[in-house]
Amino acid sequence: MEILNAHEIPKLEENQIIIPLFTLDSLLLPGDEMMMRVFEPRYKQMLDDVTLSDLPYGHVMSNPSMPDINGCSTPYDVGTLVNVEDLQEQGTNLLYDAKGGRRFRIIALIESSLEPEYFNNIFPTVDELIEQYIDQVPAGKLYVRGIVEIIPELEGTIIQDKWNNLLSLWMTYIENIAEINEMDVNDFDIQSEVKNMFPNSDSENLWILASLVLDSLDSQILALKATHVEEICSIIESNIQAKLNTIRVFRQSNE
């Protein structure tokens, strides 16, 4: 990824847009939701910008193998667009629901105009920080932005037998976890619960299942880069199988 400052923003290609990037230690897959709490001035500015423009921002995962950009973590090159919902103020914090939307690929990063500082519990206002760079960098921001291109929707359709197999594996995993925790699986109808949760074998439900199953960084990054539904199905299947193998090893070690 190319690194730019606010003075170097090039003319965008037809399929490119500039969005704010929120770099975190976890990913958000399409269709997934997360309650967010913002207190840093740079991300308060970001929320002001996306709210006023009615635009999404990009949820990305920090890449520890890459050097920082002007004091900010460098993200992986893929992420998820986020719509801000139910934004509320709570004291000096901003609370909102983040809902994952379409996937994107980062073409270039636009560095922040100020290095982030750690202010303990007392933060300056956004306006006070803007004053430190606005004369030199009028187009600057406190947060990192990305020149991105939207990744097309997944190609293909999900074979019904494959979908049924994935749900069956997921139910087997749930039953195993219930037994390990000494819960009586007969107390609830797992099959009905799962079928109600996933009524259709479409991309939307596939992403919901992925958000429940994929808990490793590598698998989440692979999923975000996928082009075909079969790739996501294979990633989910291999992850559930790995979880079931871990349970088998656990049980054998306790026999």
Residue whose C-alpha is closest to residue 250's, from 194, 165, 170, 173? 173
Residue whose C-alpha is closest to residue 57's, from 34, 163, 219, 192? 34
pTM: 0.88
Which of the pair, 38 or 71, is modelled with greater confidence? 38
DSSP state of 197: H
Q: What is the pLDDT of residue 154?
A: 95
- Tens digits of residue pLDDT in 59-111: 999 998 888 887 788 899 999 999 999 999 888 889 999 999 999 999 999 99
Q: How distant, in Å, are the alpha carbons of 90, 117, 141 from that of 127?
A: 20, 15, 11
CB atoms inside a 10 Å sphere around CB 135: 7
CATH 2.30.130.40 region(s) of the chain? 2-150
Q: Are 129 and 114 in contact (CB under 8 A)?
A: yes
Domain 2-150: state its class: mainly beta
Strands (E), the chain: 2-4, 16-24, 33-38, 57-62, 75-90, 93-110, 145-150
Share of the chain above pLDDT 90, in %: 57
Whether the pLDDT of residue 8 is over 90: the answer is no
